[in-house]
């Protein structure tokens, strides 16, 4: 059934949901990097990311994390709670890589002495600039209370995901999260919930034994085998899920 498209992002489309409290998100095959400068269609990526993200979301929900996921509709679409997205990206790092390594001159693969949590403004126009916690509240992106809640949830999600990926023989290097305020007309209204996807597009995932990259760095860095790696991640997560 064709639904009204409310918003089209780089890797997902958001459509009207089943009622005023829900939305439908559809995962696209488009891969982008460097703020959309690099772009390609990777046939089947949408399905793989949807399946991986849904598996991860279900695991997080079972462990008490409040998320936007209501139900999986089909291979590429999910029904989610309507939320007001908080316009910061939360980046959690266990191991130095990517922009962190570049910015601070720390070699990729260096284990961090503590989990690092950083923020960037969710704005393609501004190029997602890094922002600190006092700047976030100063410009009113969210309240100090919401910020504390997002940090606590992000650290708990990191624990749950490190453990999950470890079972799959994968090292969780870093990842990006987005949160929103629940907009449903229920007692949950205003509560902070986890939104957006968690997939190899938004995480760095390295094979524990070989160190092989199994994430979007394969696309960013023209390493080839992008979808084979995403498929490998899905297969491993499915296997541990079935055991
Ligand atoms: P970074 O090292 O490039 O800052 O990326 C940190 C993590 O955040 C990495 O797992 C990839 C993810 N990420 C996104 O999901 N979206 C983005 O726009 C960026 C820049 C990174």
- pLDDT, tens digit, 9 for 90 and up, residues 152-169: 999 999 999 999 999 999
Atom of ligand 1 nearest to the CA of 97: 2
Q: CB atoms < 10 A from the CB of 103, how many?
A: 11
Atom of ligand 1 nearest to the CA of 101: 2
Structure tokens that stand for 121 in this block: 């403004």
Q: Residue 230: CB within 6 Å of ligand 1? A: no
The SS3 call for residue 208 is: coil
Helices (H), 38-186: 45-62, 98-104, 133-138, 144-167
Atom of ligand 1 nearest to the CA of 100: 2
CA–centroid distance, residue 65 to ligand 1 (Å): 22
pLDDT tens track, the chain, 243 positions: 668 899 999 999 999 998 999 999 999 999 999 999 999 999 999 999 999 999 999 999 999 999 999 999 999 999 999 999 999 999 999 999 999 999 999 999 999 999 999 999 999 999 999 999 999 999 999 999 999 999 999 999 999 999 999 999 999 999 999 999 999 888 899 999 999 999 999 999 999 999 999 999 999 999 999 999 999 999 999 999 998
> For residue 1, what pLDDT is reported?
60
Return the half-sphere exposure (C-beta side, CA atoms, 13 A cut-off) of residue 77.
16
Angstrom distance (rounded) from CA 60 to CA 162: 12
Q: Residue 174: CB within 6 Å of ligand 1? A: yes
Q: Residue 49: CB within 6 Å of ligand 1? A: no
Q: Residue 199: CB within 6 Å of ligand 1? A: no
The SS3 call for residue 53 is: helix
CA–centroid distance, residue 61 to ligand 1 (Å): 23
Q: Could you say which DSSP state residue 126 is in?
A: T
Q: Could you say which DSSP state residue 110 is in?
A: P
């Amino acid at each position: 059934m064709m639904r009204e498209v409310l918003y089209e992002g780089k890797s997902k489309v958001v459509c009207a949901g089943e009622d005023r409290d829900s939305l439908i998100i559809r995962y696209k095959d488009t891969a982008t990097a460097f703020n959309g400068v690099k772009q390609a269609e990777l046939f089947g990526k949408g399905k793989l990311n949807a399946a991986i993200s849904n598996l991860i979301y279900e695991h997080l929900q079972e462990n008490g994390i409040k998320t936007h996921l209501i139900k999986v509709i089909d291979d590429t679409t999910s029904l989610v709670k309507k939320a007001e997205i908080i316009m910061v990206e939360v980046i959690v790092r266990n191991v130095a890589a990517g922009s962190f390594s570049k910015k601070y001159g720390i070699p990729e693969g260096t284990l961090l002495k503590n989990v690092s949590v950083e923020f960037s403004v969710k704005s393609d126009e501004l190029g997602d600039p890094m922002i600190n916690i006092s700047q976030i509240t100063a410009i009113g992106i969210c309240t100090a209370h919401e910020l504390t809640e997002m940090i606590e949830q992000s650290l708990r999600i990191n624990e749950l995901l490190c453990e999950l990926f470890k079972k799959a023989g994968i090292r969780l290097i870093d990842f990006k999260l987005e949160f929103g305020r629940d907009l449903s007309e229920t007692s949950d209204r205003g509560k902070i919930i986890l939104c957006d996807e968690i997939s190899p597009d938004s995480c760095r995932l390295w094979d524990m034994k070989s160190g092989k990259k199994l994430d979007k760095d394969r696309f960013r860095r023209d390493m080839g085998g992008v979808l084979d790696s995403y498929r490998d991640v899905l297969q491993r997560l499915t296997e541990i899920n079935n055991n």
